[in-house]
Structure 1
Amino acid sequence: MATDDLMSRALSALDEVDGPMSVEVIHRLVDVGDATEPMTITEVADLLGMSPHTLRYYERVGLVEVGRDAFGHRSYDADTVRRLVFLTRMRLSGMAMRDLQHYVQLVDEGEETVPERLDMLLEHRDTIRRQLKELTLSLAATEYKIATYGGRTGSPQDRAGQHEQEPDR
């Protein structure tokens, strides 16, 4: 499953939310499905839409620890895959590699680092919120130009049947 597919699945889970987001919904966003058996690097790469090279890089820089099977091949357990899902979401949201490395280091140091991890995530949330506002402004400018050129604005679902309804010109 590619990263786009993973994100689509996560967004679909969000669409099912009626009211405030619960802890269960958040857990579904890092759900790795039926991944109870160890996975190979190829399987994890396919699941996350990442290259095996990127997975090896994440391991090399200390973001994940990956076990080995009897033949010496990488063997990803469910916890490692869940961490990778989290890391890919943080990267997608713009978190720098050095910040991810620091965050993972804090996680590995234990519970006493929770306040610092919380501070990091609060700061990152503020960054994401600012990015969302900036993207909203960019979307508004794009919608304005589309309307200027005679196009229709709104979501793709809103526009789905509009082409059939337009009179011939």
Structure 2
Amino acid sequence: MADSTGTLTISEVAHRTGLSVHALRFYEREGVLADPVRRDAAGRRRYSEADVGWLTVCIVLRESGMPLPEIRRYTELVRQGGGTEAERLALMRVHRERVLQQIAQLTRSLDLINYKVGVYEDAVGTTASSPTVATG
């Protein structure tokens, strides 16, 4: 929960995003946060709701396989503001194609796995006493 200044501690952000405190510090060092992390009078990191929202975008991009240098580049473009939309679009299109290729590969894998499940379900249901299954 945000404090009276409307900011969150690093532990609170870690809890909300599922990232570790170490990962949050790493993301800060790597330059993937859209805004500089603010500090309180004691030097402790303070995050805004906007920071949490941006981190959520970074998490989704990372989980979908976007390399960290591309996330950093995307962040730099966002920081630059208007006029960078075409480059941001190009970056997202390239990543979308990568994700679509991953989905296609996973679909092929799932098809094979579903086939094997069917083979073994049939084998267990009809030949449960037989120790060997010819299809491997």
Q: Distance in 1 between matches of 2:31 and 2:121?
A: 52
Change in Cα spacing, 1:139 to 1:69, as seen in structure 2 (3 Å) is: same
> After superposition, where does 1:110-121 map in structure 2 within 5 Å?
110-121=81-92
Moved over 6 A (4+): none
Q: Based on CA coordinates, which of the two structures has the bigger radius of gyration? A: 2
Q: Distance in 2 between matches of 1:131 and 1:81?
A: 27
Deviations 1:98-118 (A, max 9, x none): 101111111111211110001
Q: Secondary structure at the match of 1:135?
A: helix
Q: Distance in 2 between matches of 1:69 and 1:35?
A: 13
Counterpart among 32, 36, 43 of residue 63 in structure 1:
32
1:149 correspondence with 2:105: no
Counterpart among 17, 30, 51 of residue 48 in structure 1:
17
Unpaired runs of 5+ residues, structure 1, are 1-33, 152-165
TM-score of the superposed pair, with normalisation by structure 2 = 0.82
**Structure 1 residue 35 displacement after superposition:** 6.3
Counterpart among 52, 57, 62 of residue 86 in structure 1:
57
Unpaired runs of 5+ residues, structure 2, are 129-136
Q: Secondary structure at the match of 2:117?
A: helix
**Structure 1 residue 129 displacement after superposition:** 1.0
Deviations 1:52-106 (A, max 9, x none): 0110010011111211122211111011111100000000000000101111111
**Structure 1 residue 46 displacement after superposition:** 1.2
Q: Distance in 2 between matches of 1:110 and 1:121?
A: 16
**Structure 1 residue 48 displacement after superposition:** 1.4
% same residue: 38
Residue equivalent to 1:123:
94
Residue equivalent to 1:76:
47
- Amino acid of the structure 1 residue aligned with 2:46: S
